[in-house]
Amino acid sequence: MATWFDESRLDDAAVLEAADDRFRALAESGARVRLAAGDAAEAIADAVARAEGLARPRAVIAAGPDSRLLRAVLEPWCPVPFVAWPGPALPGWAGSLDLVVVLAPDGADTGTASAVAEAVRRGCQVVVACPPSSLVADHAAGRWSAILPTTTRDQLATAVVVLEYLEQVTLGPRADAEQVAEALDAVAIACSPHRDLAVNPAKMLAIALADTNPVVWGGSVLAARAARRVAESIRRASGRTALAGDAEHLLPVIEATRTRDVFDDPFAEGAGELRPMLLVLDDGAEDPVVREHRGRLQAAAAGRGVRVETVTAEAPTEVARYASLLLSGTYAAEYLRLGLVED
């Protein structure tokens, strides 16, 4: 059964109303960040006060499956060695000199609970952001443990809570929950279902994605993380191939694309195959390597007639720019889901 994209559905009030739950969840992203930061503020202050009497940790270990986001934020900045350990255990060398931080948005993951329990047993300093009545919280009880209570079950909001703590103990960059929330609110306003197609960047991007297999690239560490999450959202929304990776991984895909010929028969066999589209997530990073990689990708795309779309973020902090790029791409994926219909 063939699938095609009906862009009129993106401004159809009845269709949008049927998808209200999904768009409402996206629009509330900023509110969840504010709620999580507010709920954990007192616990963060207590944990910071306790940390003032302790020596700087030998290393910071981010444990659990959500540790990769912390790695993307902290690796370029953390003044002590940093390790992301997504498995259900800890590195063999982890001990009482180290800080273990854990994101557990729903608090029910048994592997994360196991890692937390092991950290407590080894005498590590432990900081866990999770629901206060949860499996992970039960395993976090200990002399050197601090639980930062969260109830939103939102990964980004939970990460911001931990980053607020790490900023205050000088182990992480400025996070500023309010600026992250404001960046998310700005995207929600710009990409609202109630904004017409002509002035809605997410709807326009969904139309560009409609007849392509996108390759998604972000230059900085955080933009690359956002690219992987956006590609995942596109795959989930459309069932199509969507790749994300470093420039050297995406260049062969673009360079192998057949050059478009204006004289091609649109009804010939294979003429309807989906072509790649380069989606660039630009968080303003001006590192020379980032510029060079972006230039190579764009030059290859131009040489093969591959369409290029760019999503930009101009928020004041790195985490806020990451949040902006991620939410913009997720909105576009939801509009893509909305417009795809089976013939």
Query: pLDDT (tens digit, 9 = 90+) per residue, 80-93?
Result: 999 999 888 899 99
Evaluate if residue 294 carries a pLDDT over 60: yes
- Tell me the per-residue pLDDT of 245-267, one tens digit each, with 9 for 90 and over: 999 999 999 999 988 765 565 54
> What are the CA-CA distances from residue 199 to residues 133, 163, 190, 192, 202 (Å)?
44, 34, 8, 10, 9
For a pLDDT cut of 90, what percent of the chain falls above it?
85
Pairing mode, if any, of strands 125-130 and 145-149? parallel
SS3 107: coil
| pLDDT confidence tier of residue 147, bands split at 50, 70 and 90 | very high
The rounded distance, in Å, linking the Cα atoms of 175 and 219 is 20
Distance CA 188, CA 197 (A): 15
Separation CA 244–CA 331 (nearest Å): 17
Q: Tell me the whole-structure pTM to 2 decimals.
A: 0.93
Please check the confidence at residue 271 and state whether its pLDDT lies above 50.
no
Residue ranges, CATH 3.40.50.10490, the chain: 3-19+193-342, 30-173
Exposure string over 38-51, b if 16+ CB within 10 A, otherwise e = ebbeebbeebbeeb
| Mean residue pLDDT across the chain | 93
Please state, in angstroms and rounded to a whole number, the distance separating the CA atoms of residues 226 and 245.
11
pLDDT for position 308: 97
307-342: burial string, b at 16+ Cβ within 10 Å, e else: bebebebebebbbbbbbbbbbbbbbbbbbbbbbbee
- The Cα–Cα gap between 69 and 177 comes to 16
Distances (CA, A) of 101 to 75, 134, 151, 222, 324: 14, 17, 18, 19, 24
Average pLDDT over residues 88-112: 93
Mean pLDDT of 4-17: 95
Tell me what the mean pLDDT of segment 286-311 comes to.
95
Q: Tell me 259's DSSP state.
A: P
Q: Is the pLDDT of residue 239 over 50?
A: yes
According to DSSP, the residues that pair with 276 across neighbouring strands are 213
The phi-psi region of residue 297 (left if phi > 0; otherwise alpha if psi is between -120 and 50; otherwise beta) is alpha
Tokens (6 digits) for 62? 């981010």
Give the domain 30-173 fold. Answer: Rossmann fold (3.40.50)
Res. 165 pLDDT band, cuts 50 70 90: very high
Q: Quick one: average pLDDT of 6-29?
A: 96
Q: Which CATH number fits domain 3-19+193-342: 3.40.640.10, 3.40.50.2000, 3.40.50.2300, 3.40.50.10490?
A: 3.40.50.10490
User: Quick one: pLDDT band at residue 118, thresholds 50, 70, 90?
Assistant: very high
Mean pLDDT, rounded, for 158-179: 95
Residue 186: CB atoms within 10 A of its CB come to 18
